[in-house]
């Protein structure tokens, strides 16, 4: 594994445009369960709660599950070492962009600035009647389904439901990154969900070197990945950081 870590670190050090593509796996060590796999949320909850048609037809039932998963569960999660290393890489100009499928806001809380959220963000709610946006606060969810304080319209989390389009800005940023990245770092994704899952193969087609971090193989590992760092995000990013951020003289 150390040889692979060294090879991955060398690619990252020599890259002029590096993109990190993150999935639910990067937030597992922050206490947020993934969607798939043995402890996956979809083993205990029906993904229909995130289907836009179901949400509009049964807002109260949908909101009961959404509140449990994304607000009660996720609420007090904090960034872990993997998020922090990515933020430090950005500060040192070793990372140019993060495309995340996650809605947990942990990249931003770790200090990353160039983050594009392919599936939106759970920290904002939007009124489906007057389009007023609200920052999440527990008070908004005291009564379900939550109503707009301004017009009493139905509030929806500002993340992408199944059956909804990907917002244009992150979609463009993702395809742009796939075209111009020298190195593409996939962290913690099964590669199950379109259209996000077509981004890494596109990066490979455009000549990017693909590094993947995951404790298990994914849909990318055999067909897209060049360097597979088999392990948890925190530990693998820590090993990369030991090479990428050598202690400088003034640190001693």
- CB closer to ligand APR out of 96 and 190: 190
Q: Is 119 a catalytic residue?
A: yes
Phi, psi of 49 (to 5 degrees): -65, -15
User: How far, rounded to the nearest angstrom, does the alpha carbon of residue 185 sit from its chain's CA centroid?
Assistant: 12
Q: Which of the ranges 34-42, 60-68, 143-151, 240-248 carries the binding residues for ligand APR, by CB under 6 A? A: 34-42
- CB closer to ligand APR out of 41 and 95: 41
Binding residue (CB under 6 A) for ligand APR from 69, 95, 173, 233: 233
- By CB under 6 A, what part of segment 160-219 binds ligand APR? 188-190, 192-193, 213-216, 218
Which one from 107, 119, 206, 226 is the annotated catalytic residue?
Answer: 119
Which residues contact residue 170 at a Cβ distance below 8 angstroms, ignoring those fewer than 6 apart?
Answer: 99, 116, 117, 118
- CB closer to ligand APR out of 33 and 59: 33
Binding residue (CB under 6 A) for ligand APR from 4, 40, 52, 56: 40
Query: What HEC string does 111-174 produce?
Result: CCCCEEECCEEEEEEEECCCCCEEECCHHHHCCCCCECCCCCCEEEEEECCECCCCCHHHHHHH
- CB closer to ligand APR out of 72 and 150: 72
- CB closer to ligand APR out of 40 and 153: 40
Helix (H) or strand (E) holding 21: strand 18-22
- By CB under 6 A, what part of segment 41-100 binds ligand APR? none
Phi, psi of 113 (to 5 degrees): -105, -40
**Shortest CB 85 distance to ligand APR, Å:** 13
Binding residue (CB under 6 A) for ligand APR from 5, 8, 36, 181: 36
d(CA 170, CA 210): 20
Binding residue (CB under 6 A) for ligand APR from 37, 111, 153, 167: 37
State the first-to-last Cα distance of the chain, in angstroms, to the nearest integer: 29
**Shortest CB 113 distance to ligand APR, Å:** 21
Beta-strand pair 120-127/133-135: antiparallel
Joined together, the tokens standing for residue 194 give 């379109």
Phi, psi of 86 (to 5 degrees): -60, -40
Footprint of ligand APR on this chain (CB under 6 A)? 23-26, 28-29, 34-37, 40, 101, 119, 188-190, 192-193, 213-216, 218, 232-233
Catalytic sites, residue numbers: 119
């Amino acid at each position: 594994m150390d040889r692979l870590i060294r090879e991955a670190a060398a690619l990252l050090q020599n890259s002029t445009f590096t993109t990190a593509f993150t999935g639910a796996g990067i937030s597992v060590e922050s206490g947020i369960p993934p969607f798939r796999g043995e402890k996956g949320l979809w083993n205990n909850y029906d993904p229909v709660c995130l289907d836009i048609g179901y949400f509009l037809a049964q807002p109260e039932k949908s909101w009961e599950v959404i509140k449990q998963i994304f607000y009660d569960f996720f609420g007090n999660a904090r960034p872990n070492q993997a998020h922090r290393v990515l933020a430090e890489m950005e500060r040192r100009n070793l990372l140019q962009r993060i495309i995340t499928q996650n809605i947990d806001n942990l990249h931003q809380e770790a200090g990353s600035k160039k983050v594009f959220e392919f599936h939106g963000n759970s920290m904002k709610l939007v009124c489906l009647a007057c389009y007023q946006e609200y920052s999440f606060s527990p008070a908004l969810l005291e009564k379900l389904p939550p109503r707009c304080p301004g017009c009493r319209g139905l509030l929806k989390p500002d993340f992408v439901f199944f059956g909804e389009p990907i917002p244009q800005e992150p979609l463009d940023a993702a395809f742009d990154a796939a075209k111009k990245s020298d190195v593409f770092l996939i962290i913690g994704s099964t590669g199950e969900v379109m259209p996000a899952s077509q981004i890494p193969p596109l990066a490979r087609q455009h000549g990017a070197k693909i590094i993947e971090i995951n404790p298990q193989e994914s849909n990318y590992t055999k067909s897209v990945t060049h360097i597979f760092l088999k392990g948890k995000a925190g530990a693998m990013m820590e090993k990369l950081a030991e090479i990428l951020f050598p202690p400088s003289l003034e640190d001693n």
